């Protein structure tokens, strides 16, 4: 099994059954709670920490003192009846998120709660060599770090997202970024960044980000469907990215909708991707709006162009069919629609919901289908969260 | 989230962080290992237990002494260089498995490893009232217990399988057993059996049984597709039954294969179930072999009847398409084909594999598709295992 991301970010488990291991385990438990408290949340008090860890208040206050001395946390005296609050410190470490899209590169720096402190985005040619891509990423990262960090703050890990299936750090066949196929991305990026790199498929990262910080926060299971030049999905089950046996879970884009449909690059026919993606929308509109961008077609639809409206409607109905297969099989709490095509908003989503109702079992036909709140930053934010959660806070 | 079945069968977790909780936790750890050692496995020695629990040999031998005194385990002196072996004792408790099929009822008694000690099977009318079904189950269970158990062995729990989606113990809409719809099966059966009852969908139980004892043993993730009067699937992920948000995960039978296909009782069209089930096979052969049973059609196919061969081939190709959707989305280690239709063996399975190859991504197209080794006992064995794993071995 490939490693899975844990929300509590615990390091190696304490040696089973030993009393001596309890102290480190208790520190980990406190830090595990703290790294779930983002900057958007109210800070927690020591009393909150005792409640959420199940540890005695005196134990918590001892641990907080130790962690404060080690510059792992910052404390702030309470006001009024509220006790001293505790946060994980930037000096505990920083992480980077790096997201390669079909034609862009984004880089972010975040703290160990995965909260992004600064980010940049650059266009990038889809045919770039992976070495050039990594060199540019390193250059952007150095710039962000120089501008936004202080002495004593150091990079602990990098999360790297790629629009391809990835197994054991190696990029498998991908028509989207040909300059990366067969590359051990984890190793190449580790060399480029000089820090441990955790690689992940971009849709999985989007799913992680929406689950931890976006519209799926608070649910146990959600599916993030990313529709851009292709269609992929990331699956979060019981709060963790689900990757499957070989790391390829979530390939919703190649569900067969019509066995007599167009032959796909994957070797099958009538795949969902052939009915719902940006190229498909552009192709449907080629006669009326030649060379239109996605935004052109969205604008036309909003302006009342019935053909443009129909192109989103048909893509949405087919997506709904694919989403129905997902909810029939997985019964998630929520489905999130992301990627560039999500810019079409309800032009697309209303039809996705209709397609879901038509193709799903009654019991799951009303599964909420919501637009990504992190938008096109979802995979980047997910890369930062992935890195943050992989950092071992203390030696085990 | 509905409760999930854990392989280690651990009871309530020890109070976090307390030293005092370690002793009970360590006993649980030993029992957790022991209940995975079935009668088909070699018994474990105290040295094996120390290795598999990570506990010190002296700690293990103290725990074994205590558990032996409490009649929770039996020990047997070693022979030659092999030390004393330890097994969970029948006097630690027994469980029952009860499986309601479309037209049969099976009852089994098992020990706390889930190993079946005795079982019976009776035909049952599909339209039976649930009270009559439970009364018969109780009568069969009493008979098996009277014949096969000794003084001091007592029933700790019952696992109950039904061919329907079940949420919080309540049977949701099912065309298969109309006399159970809307019934709180867990409560009704608890009254009938006078023991705690754990209810579960029959395909989920088949998946659990194949994972713990059958062809999927040793894999982390597997999907069990049960094809009888309908088509359903049970999903095991990371060693546990995966039920989804509302308990309906695994509804492979209602994947849409053709949106213009026949209208289904589920309200959709062209569902997999319409192309691959026993009634479908019978219907395909109605002109040539009117009133044929499944076994008649299997016999005809084995005798060279090309129409009978074609009926299994077409059902298999459609099943393969459904299985392809499952492996594209979940990327399991293994797919198991069970239920009555699996009696067709390679007449069906060769086509399932071909359908899988045609519709799945290349990376997962060779996912093994194997016949259930537990056959039509799979759900019954799963019911016994479910009950055994839910028994709390010690107060927490």
User: If DSSP states are collapsed to H, E and C, what string results for chain A?
Assistant: CCCCCCCCCCCCCCCCCCCCCHHHHHHHHHHHHHCCCCCCCCCEEHHHHHHHHCCCHHHHHHHHHHHHHCCCEEEECCCCCCCCEEEECHHHCEEEEEEECCCEEEEEEEECCCCEEEEEEEECCCCCCHHHHHHHHHHHHHHHHHHHCCCCCCEEEEEEEECCCEECCEECCCCCCHHHCCCEHHHHHHHHHCCCEEEEEHHHHHHHHHHHHCCCCCCCCEEEEEECCCEEEEEEECCEECCCCCCCCCCHHHCECCCCCCECCCCCECEHHHCCCHHHHHHHCCCCCCCCCHHHHHHHHHCCCHHHHHHHHHHHHHHHHHHHHHHHHHCCCEEEEECHHHHHCHHHHHHHHHHHHHHCCHHHCCCCEEECCCHHHHHHHHHHHHHHHHCCCCCC
pLDDT at residue number A2: 38
Residues 124-183 of B with CB under 8 A from A: 165, 172-173
**Do B226 and B206 contact (CB within 8 A), yes or no?**
yes
pLDDT at A40 over 80: no
- The CATH homologous superfamily to which domain B216-372 belongs is ATPase, nucleotide binding domain (3.30.420.40)
pLDDT at residue number A258: 96
Out of A340-344, B150-154, B228-232, B316-320, pick the least confident: B150-154
Structure tokens given for A343: 């810019």
Considering the domain delimited by B22-88, tell me its CATH architecture. Answer: Orthogonal Bundle (1.10)
pLDDT at residue number A18: 61
Structure tokens given for B120: 């019976």
Query: Which CATH number does the domain B93-207+380-390 belong to among 3.50.50.60, 3.30.420.40, 3.30.990.10, 3.40.50.720?
Result: 3.30.420.40
CB contacts < 8 A, A to B, total 167
pLDDT at A124 over 80: yes
Beta strands (DSSP E) in B304-368 are 334-338
Q: Which residue in the set A242, A321, A362 is minimally distant from B266, CB to CB? A: A362
Residue range B45-72: average pLDDT? Answer: 91
Rounded CA separation A33/A284 (Å) = 49
Q: What residues of chain A lie within 8 A of the CB of B363, using their CB?
A: 165, 172-173, 246, 248
Q: Which residue in the set B235, B251, B333 is minimally distant from A361, CB to CB? A: B251
pLDDT at residue number B17: 54
Rounded CA separation A234/A206 (Å) = 7
Using the Cβ of B265 and the Cβ atoms of chain A, whether some distance falls under 8 Å is answered with: no
| Topology annotation, domain A217-372 | Nucleotidyltransferase; domain 5 (3.30.420)
pLDDT at A15 over 60: no
**Do B314 and B275 contact (CB within 8 A), yes or no?**
yes
Q: Which residue in the set A15, A53, A245 is minimally distant from B332, CB to CB? A: A245
Rounded CA separation B316/B193 (Å) = 40
Query: Is B329 in contact with A332 (Cβ distance < 8 A)?
Result: no
Rounded CA separation A231/B365 (Å) = 19
pLDDT at B19 over 70: no
Using the Cβ of A199 and the Cβ atoms of chain B, whether some distance falls under 8 Å is answered with: no
Task: Look up residue B269 and give its DSSP letter.
Answer: B
pLDDT tens for A144-183 read: 999 998 887 899 999 999 998 888 888 887 677 888 989 9
**Do A116 and A125 contact (CB within 8 A), yes or no?**
no
pLDDT tens for B191-214 read: 999 999 999 999 999 999 999 999
Using the Cβ of A362 and the Cβ atoms of chain B, whether some distance falls under 8 Å is answered with: yes
CATH code at A93-206+379-390: 3.30.420.40
Rounded CA separation A187/B104 (Å) = 57
Candidates B22, B256, B367, partner chain A, best to mutate (most A CBs within 10 A):
B256
pLDDT tens for A239-289 read: 999 999 988 999 999 999 999 999 998 899 999 999 999 999 999 999 999
Is-same-fold flag (B22-88; B93-207+380-390)?
A: no
**Beta strand pairing call for B104-111 and B116-123:** antiparallel
Using the Cβ of B363 and the Cβ atoms of chain A, whether some distance falls under 8 Å is answered with: yes
**Do A26 and A64 contact (CB within 8 A), yes or no?**
no
Q: In the structure, what pLDDT confidence band is assigned to residue B378 with cuts at 50, 70 and 90?
A: very high
Candidates B60, B245, B274, B323, partner chain A, best to mutate (most A CBs within 10 A):
B245
- Identify the CA nearest to A115 among candidates A90, A145, A147: A90
Q: In the structure, what pLDDT confidence band is assigned to residue B393 with cuts at 50, 70 and 90?
A: confident
Rounded CA separation B380/B287 (Å) = 35
Q: In the structure, what pLDDT confidence band is assigned to residue B3 with cuts at 50, 70 and 90?
A: very low
Q: What residues of chain A lie within 8 A of the CB of B63, using their CB?
A: none
**Do B223 and B232 contact (CB within 8 A), yes or no?**
no
Q: What residues of chain B lie within 8 A of the CB of A238, using their CB?
A: 1
How close A136 comes to chain B (CA, Å)? 31
Out of A89-98, A177-186, B19-28, B308-317, pick the least confident: B19-28
Residue B153 CA: distances (Å) to CA of B94, B107, B146, B324: 7, 18, 11, 46
The residue of chain B with its CA nearest to that of A334 is B245
User: Domain extents for chain A?
Assistant: 22-88, 93-206+379-390, 217-372
Query: Higher-confidence residue: B166 or B234?
Result: B234
Rounded CA separation B275/B335 (Å) = 19
Query: Is B268 in contact with A244 (Cβ distance < 8 A)?
Result: no
Residue range B104-121: average pLDDT? Answer: 95
Percent of chain A with pLDDT over 90: 74
How close B162 comes to chain A (CA, Å)? 17
How many residues does this entry show for chain B?
396
The residue of chain A with its CA nearest to that of B53 is A16
Using the Cβ of B55 and the Cβ atoms of chain A, whether some distance falls under 8 Å is answered with: yes
Residue range A336-341: average pLDDT? Answer: 96
CA dihedral B214, B218, B222, B225 (to 10 degrees): -10
pLDDT at A106 over 80: yes
Percent of chain B with pLDDT over 70: 93
Using the Cβ of A333 and the Cβ atoms of chain B, whether some distance falls under 8 Å is answered with: yes
**Beta strand pairing call for B85-88 and B44-45:** antiparallel
Out of A34-43, A356-365, B274-283, pick the least confident: A34-43
Query: Is A332 in contact with B244 (Cβ distance < 8 A)?
Result: yes
* Helix axes of B46-53 and B22-34: crossing angle, nearest 10 degrees: 120
Residue range A342-354: average pLDDT? Answer: 97
Structure tokens given for B173: 């809409």
pLDDT at residue number A102: 84
Q: Which residue in the set A55, A221, A367 is minimally distant from B17, CB to CB? A: A55
Query: Is B246 in contact with A19 (Cβ distance < 8 A)?
Result: no
pLDDT at residue number B122: 96
- Identify the CA nearest to A330 among candidates A235, A212, A202: A235
pLDDT at A17 over 70: no
Using the Cβ of A36 and the Cβ atoms of chain B, whether some distance falls under 8 Å is answered with: no
Candidates A329, A332, A354, partner chain B, best to mutate (most B CBs within 10 A):
A329
Rounded CA separation A43/A365 (Å) = 38
Residue range B131-141: average pLDDT? Answer: 96
The residue of chain B with its CA nearest to that of A225 is B329
Q: In the structure, what pLDDT confidence band is assigned to residue A23 with cuts at 50, 70 and 90?
A: confident
Query: Is B220 in contact with A330 (Cβ distance < 8 A)?
Result: no
How close A54 comes to chain B (CA, Å)? 6
Q: In the structure, what pLDDT confidence band is assigned to residue A396 with cuts at 50, 70 and 90?
A: very low
Q: What residues of chain A lie within 8 A of the CB of B362, using their CB?
A: 173, 266-267
pLDDT tens for B268-289 read: 999 999 999 999 999 999 999 9
Residue range B20-41: average pLDDT? Answer: 83
The residue of chain A with its CA nearest to that of B272 is A325
3-class SS at B111? strand
How close A332 comes to chain B (CA, Å)? 5
Structure tokens given for B172: 């949701």
Residue range A50-73: average pLDDT? Answer: 91
Query: Is A328 in contact with B244 (Cβ distance < 8 A)?
Result: no
**Do B118 and B108 contact (CB within 8 A), yes or no?**
yes
Rounded CA separation B312/A51 (Å) = 59
**Beta strand pairing call for B334-338 and B369-371:** parallel
Residue range B101-106: average pLDDT? Answer: 91
3-class SS at B89? coil
Query: Higher-confidence residue: B78 or B207?
Result: B207
CA dihedral A214, A215, A218, A220 (to 10 degrees): -100
Query: Is B250 in contact with A329 (Cβ distance < 8 A)?
Result: yes
Out of A104-108, A124-128, B157-161, pick the least confident: A124-128
Using the Cβ of A321 and the Cβ atoms of chain B, whether some distance falls under 8 Å is answered with: yes
Rounded CA separation B210/B251 (Å) = 18
């Amino acid at each position: 099994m490939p490693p899975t991301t844990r929300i509590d970010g615990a390091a190696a488990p304490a040696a089973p059954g030993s009393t001596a291991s309890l102290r480190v385990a208790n520190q980990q438990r406190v830090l595990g709670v703290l790294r779930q408290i983002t900057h958007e949340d109210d800070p927690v008090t020591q009393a909150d920490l005792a409640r959420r860890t199940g540890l005695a208040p005196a134990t918590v206050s001892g641990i907080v003192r130790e962690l404060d001395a080690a510059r792992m946390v910052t404390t702030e005296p309470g006001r009024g009846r509220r006790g001293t609050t505790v946060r994980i410190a930037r000096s505990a470490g920083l992480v980077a998120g790096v997201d390669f899209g079909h034609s862009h590169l984004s880089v972010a720096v975040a703290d160990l709660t995965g909260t992004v402190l600064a980010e940049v985005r650059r266009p990038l040619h889809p045919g770039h060599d992976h070495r050039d891509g990594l060199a540019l990423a390193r250059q952007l990262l150095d710039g962000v770090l120089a501008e936004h960090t202080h002495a004593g703050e150091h990079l602990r890990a990098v999360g790297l997202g790629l629009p391809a299936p990835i197994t054991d750090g190696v990029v498998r066949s991908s028509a989207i970024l040909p300059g990366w196929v067969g590359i051990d991305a984890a190793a190449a990026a580790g060399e480029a960044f000089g820090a441990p790199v955790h690689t992940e498929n971009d849709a999985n990262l989007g799913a992680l980000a929406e689950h931890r910080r976006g519209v799926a926060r608070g649910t146990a299971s959600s599916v993030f469907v990313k529709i851009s030049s292709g269609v992929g999905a990331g699956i979060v089950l019981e709060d963790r990215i689900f990757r499957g046996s070989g790391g390829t879970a979530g390939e919703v884009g190649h569900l067969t909708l019509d066995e007599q449909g167009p032959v796909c690059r994957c070797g099958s026919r009538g795949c969902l991707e052939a009915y719902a993606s940006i190229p498909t929308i552009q192709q449907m509109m080629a006669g009326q709006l030649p060379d239109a961008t996605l935004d052109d077609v969205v604008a036309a639809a909003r302006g009342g162009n019935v053909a443009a409206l129909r192109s989103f409607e048909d893509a949405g109905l087919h997506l709904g069919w694919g989403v129905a297969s997902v909810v029939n099989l997985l019964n998630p709490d929520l489905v999130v629609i992301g990627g560039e095509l999500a810019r079409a908003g309800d032009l697309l989503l209303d039809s996705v919901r209709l397609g879901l109702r038509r193709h799903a079992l009654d019991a799951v036909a009303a599964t909420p289908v919501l637009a990504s709140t992190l938008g096109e930053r979802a995979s980047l934010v997910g890369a930062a969260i992935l890195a943050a959660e992989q950092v071992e806070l203390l030696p085990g």
